């Protein structure tokens, strides 16, 4: 009897200690959220610093009391590996033909054009290479995967992931035709590039506007060709939104491969609703291609390193190669993949035979990426200056001189880039809400606590997962932090967009840790209620941030090309005349190409009139005309009134305050007698 009482007392004391640890950690996380909310509302306040200091003190106290941080599970980065599967030896006969076809493709893909012969041999080289080295899984491996899917727990995980995908579909596609509202010059250029493809041109590298990789443009053309969207901004946004949706399962799989399903689901949830990835995906440019292929490359790479699976190495190489055809900041992934491989090798003792297989697989991975890169490699060899121009202008003094010590600029850039999640974000209104942190206050606070947790676990337990995560943060920020000649462009939410999956993983860690600690104490219902409330708060906050705050500031800043086009269209239909519609050229006003695209007139240059000389050239034309001009350009209005005294000028109100414009109507004149 005495022993029984003694056991109950010891259990109660242990339980009490664990509850104190959970309460300390939870209070610290709650204070961090309050601090970040205060920072977003009143940047730089003393109260923010005090709240964050108390928050980190509480979290540190919880961990100093041997808080149950082990409740956050990590996967073994070097589990026992089954005997390597051996591919059919006869497949090696396909290696030489693969390399030969790659050489033929390299030679044929000249003059920056996807030729039929070059494209066919390029794809054949890739197929032969994969066939030569792909290892077929034995039937028992497929059965193990099927059994995992059939498990009850796995079905719940898949159902939850499906729910996250549906929620992501809402955030990425809701009001896609209306938000963002207007084109910028970048959109006009991308649409014109896509039109070139639809008109029979097949460039490898699109040289308009300092040069762009090809993937987005061919996807745009596919969307238009399939009739999913017309050739306008909506086609671009559809491609971006699909890229965002396809990234969600990759974030889940990557986080699950590093930690477990719970971290995967929460990280995927954050990626599905956070304004950071949602905004750069919906804007309709190439930006979401970076996080898409970063997440998939890293998922296959982690699987490859954990299991030393050749097939996963090959898939990682394919994802890396495709990503290099998407958005230029992805190029840093070539370095990051190498760093992750080196870290895995340093972290683990390997035998000579294991090292030989590891080295061979890494070589095959990079070879697969190189084969996918062959067309761009051909362009790079022929046009190295154009291929690297954009990157070189930011890194060197090619366009603007680097002012100051480059090392100090780089260090300052890193400091400010790391602050983009909690202090001050991008200033470009197209990509984010200017000057606000790029994530909401809840994810921002969780991110900081997650980083602290990562440092703690890395120092205490030497876990490779956190070495990978921290190296990813640093390397994937390089496209932004290396803007040495243009430090004002840092932090850039789009150039650093590839880091988004890792921000969401870091932010998921403290929530999952807190839930697991509560579950271990028998408070599963409380844990689920807290987690559900937190996720609901994230949904509501990000919906408000994107569909209200971001949308309003975008409309206020963008020029209203759609309304201008509508005014010109009404005249053209009324007069049955699409020739005599004009825009008076004015610096820092609407891009006439965007107006032309909305009208279906992709070559709109002839409809742009500049100054007295341009208007005077049309005086002898008796046809009715309509000129649209900027509201503040009274000089042009006086000029038109002088040359066309019979004309009428009216102010056209805009749905957006401050975006009114002027329309000058010239009635038809009698034909002069001969």
Residue 646: name the closest of 674, 624, 661 by CA: 624
- Check residue 14 and give its pLDDT: 56
Do 505 and 416 sit in the same domain of this protein?
yes
Report the pLDDT averaged over residues 103-126.
97
- Check residue 5 and give its pLDDT: 43
Q: Which strands form 581-584's sheet, in the order they lie side by side? A: 608-609, 581-584, 625-630, 661-666, 648-652
Length of the chain counted residue by residue = 674
Helices (H), 274-388: 275-282, 289-307, 310-323, 333-347, 352-372, 374-382, 384-387
How many Cβ atoms are within 10 Å of 36's Cβ, its own excluded?
A: 28
Nearest-angstrom CA–CA distance, 548 and 192: 30
Burial class of residue 330, CB neighbours in 10 A (0-12, 13-18, 19+): buried
176 occurs within a structural domain: no
**pLDDT for 544 beyond 80:** yes
Do 350 and 497 sit in the same domain of this protein?
yes
Do 325 and 233 sit in the same domain of this protein?
yes
- For the chain, the 3-state helix, strand and coil shares in percent, each to the nearest 5, are 70, 5, 30
Do 40 and 92 sit in the same domain of this protein?
no
- Check residue 344 and give its pLDDT: 98
674 occurs within a structural domain: no
Q: What is the pLDDT of residues 314-360, one digit of tens each?
A: 999 999 999 999 999 999 999 999 999 999 999 998 999 999 999 99
Q: What is the pLDDT of residues 454-502, one digit of tens each?
A: 999 999 999 999 999 999 999 999 999 999 999 999 999 999 999 999 9
Of all residues in the chain, the percent with pLDDT exceeding 70 is: 93
Do 401 and 519 sit in the same domain of this protein?
yes
Report the pLDDT averaged over residues 415-436.
96
pLDDT averaged over every residue in the chain: 92
- Check residue 467 and give its pLDDT: 98
Place of tokens 């898939």: 315
- Check residue 18 and give its pLDDT: 86
Do 404 and 419 sit in the same domain of this protein?
yes
Do 105 and 145 sit in the same domain of this protein?
no
Q: Where are the beta strands (DSSP E) in 588-660?
A: 608-609, 625-630, 648-652
Do 343 and 439 sit in the same domain of this protein?
yes
206 occurs within a structural domain: yes
Do 114 and 147 sit in the same domain of this protein?
no
Number of H-type helices and E-type strands within the chain: 29, 5
- Check residue 13 and give its pLDDT: 56
Q: Give the lowest-confidence range in 208-212, 225-229, 562-566, 643-647.
A: 208-212
**pLDDT for 251 beyond 50:** yes
178 occurs within a structural domain: no
- Check residue 139 and give its pLDDT: 56
Q: What is the pLDDT of residues 589-630, one digit of tens each?
A: 999 999 999 999 999 999 999 989 999 999 999 999 999 999
550 occurs within a structural domain: yes
Do 140 and 120 sit in the same domain of this protein?
no
358 occurs within a structural domain: yes
Q: What is the pLDDT of residues 52-74, one digit of tens each?
A: 999 999 999 998 876 667 789 89
pLDDT band at 143 (very low <50, low <70, confident <90, very high): low
Burial class of residue 167, CB neighbours in 10 A (0-12, 13-18, 19+): middle
Do 383 and 532 sit in the same domain of this protein?
yes
**pLDDT for 291 beyond 50:** yes
β-pair partners for 629: 662
661 occurs within a structural domain: yes
Total count of domains within the chain: 4
Report the pLDDT averaged over residues 148-166.
83
DSSP 559-602: --HHHHHHHHHHHHHHHT-SSSEEEE--TTS--HHHHHHHHT-S
Q: What is the pLDDT of residues 30-47, one digit of tens each?
A: 999 999 999 999 888 899
**pLDDT for 384 beyond 90:** yes
82 occurs within a structural domain: no
Boundary (domain end) residue, out of 38, 67, 96: 67
**Domain housing 594:** 561-666
pLDDT band at 141 (very low <50, low <70, confident <90, very high): low
Instruction: Give every CB contact of residue 369 below 8 A, 6+ residues apart in sequence.
Output: 317, 318, 320, 321, 324, 334
pLDDT band at 674 (very low <50, low <70, confident <90, very high): very low
Strands 625-630 and 581-584: parallel
Nearest-angstrom CA–CA distance, 181 and 429: 12
**pLDDT for 306 beyond 70:** yes
Of all residues in the chain, the percent with pLDDT exceeding 90 is: 83
Do 107 and 187 sit in the same domain of this protein?
no
Contact 273, 168 (CB under 8 A): yes
């Amino acid at each position: 009897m005495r022993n029984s009482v003694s056991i109950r007392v010891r259990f109660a004391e242990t339980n009490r200690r664990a509850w104190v640890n959970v309460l300390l950690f939870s209070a610290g996380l709650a204070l961090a959220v309050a601090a970040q909310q205060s920072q977003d509302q009143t940047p730089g306040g003393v109260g923010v610093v005090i709240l964050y200091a108390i928050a980190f003190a509480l979290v540190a106290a919880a961990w100093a009391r041997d808080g149950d941080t082990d409740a956050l599970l990590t996967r073994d980065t070097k589990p026992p590996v089954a005997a390597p599967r051996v591919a059919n030896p006869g497949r090696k006969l396909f290696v030489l033909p693969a390399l030969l076809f790659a050489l033929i493709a390299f030679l044929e893909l000249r003059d920056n054009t996807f030729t039929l012969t070059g494209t066919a041999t390029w794809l054949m080289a890739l197929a032969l290479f994969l066939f030569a080295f792909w290892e077929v899984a034995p039937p028992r491996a497929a059965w193990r995967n099927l059994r995992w899917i059939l498990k009850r727990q796995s079905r719940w995980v898949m159902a939850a992931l499906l729910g996250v995908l549906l929620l992501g579909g809402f955030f990425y596609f809701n009001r896609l035709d209306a938000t963002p509202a207007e084109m910028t010059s970048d959109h006009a250029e991308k649409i014109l590039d896509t039109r070139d493809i639809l008109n029979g041109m097949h460039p490898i590298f699109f040289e308009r506007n300092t040069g762009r990789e090809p993937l987005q443009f061919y996807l745009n053309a596919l969307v238009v060709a399939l009739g999913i969207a017309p050739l306008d901004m909506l086609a671009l946004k559809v491609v971006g939104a699909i890229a965002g949706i396809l990234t969600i399962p990759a974030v889940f799989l990557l986080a699950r491969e590093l930690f477990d399903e719970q971290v995967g689901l929460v990280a995927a949830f954050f990626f599905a609703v956070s304004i950071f990835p949602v905004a750069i995906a919906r804007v309709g440019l190439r930006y979401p291609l970076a996080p898409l292929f970063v997440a998939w490359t890293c998922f296959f790479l982690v699987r490859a390193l954990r299991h030393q699976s050749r097939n996963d190495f090959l898939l990682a190489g394919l994802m890396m190669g495709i990503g290099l055809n998407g958005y230029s900041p992805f190029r840093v992934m070539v370095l990051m993949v190498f760093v992750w491989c080196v870290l895995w090798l340093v972290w683990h003792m390997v035998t000579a035979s294991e090292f030989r297989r590891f080295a061979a697989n890494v070589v095959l991975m990079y070879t697969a990426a190189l084969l996918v890169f062959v067309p761009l490699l051909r362009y790079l060899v022929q046009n190295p200056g154009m291929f690297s121009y954009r990157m070189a202008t930011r890194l060197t003094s090619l366009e603007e001189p680097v002012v100051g010590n480059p090392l100090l600029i780089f260090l300052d850039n890193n400091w400010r880039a790391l602050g983009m999640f909690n202090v001050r974000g991008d200033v470009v209104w197209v990509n984010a809400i200017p000057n606000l942190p790029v994530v909401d206050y809840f994810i921002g606070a969780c991110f900081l606590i997650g980083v602290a947790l990562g440092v703690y676990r890395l120092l205490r337990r030497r876990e490779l997962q956190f070495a990978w995560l921290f190296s990813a943060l640093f390397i994937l920020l390089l496209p932004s932090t290396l803007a040495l000649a243009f430090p004002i462009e840092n932090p850039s939410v789009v150039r650093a967009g590839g880091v988004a999956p890792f921000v969401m993983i870091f932010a998921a860690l403290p929530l999952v840790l807190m839930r697991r600690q509560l579950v271990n104490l028998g408070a599963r219902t409380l844990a689920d209620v807290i987690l559900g409330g937190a996720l609901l708060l994230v949904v509501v906050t990000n919906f408000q941030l994107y569909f209200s705050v971001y949308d309003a500031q975008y409309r206020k800043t963008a020029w209203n090309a759609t309304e201008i086009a509508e005014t010109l269209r009404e005249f053209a239909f009324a007069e049955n005349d699409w020739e005599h519609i004009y825009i008076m050229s004015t610096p820092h006003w609407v891009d006439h190409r965007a107006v032309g695209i909305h009208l279906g007139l992709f070559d709109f240059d002839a409809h742009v009139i500049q100054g007295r000389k341009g208007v005077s050239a049309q005086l002898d034309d008796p046809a009715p005309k309509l000129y649209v001009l900027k509201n503040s350009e009274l000089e042009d209005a006086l000029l038109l009134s002088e040359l066309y005294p019979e004309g009428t000028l009216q102010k056209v109100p805009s749905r957006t305050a401050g975006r009114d414009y002027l329309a000058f109507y010239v009635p038809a004149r009698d034909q002069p007698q001969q």
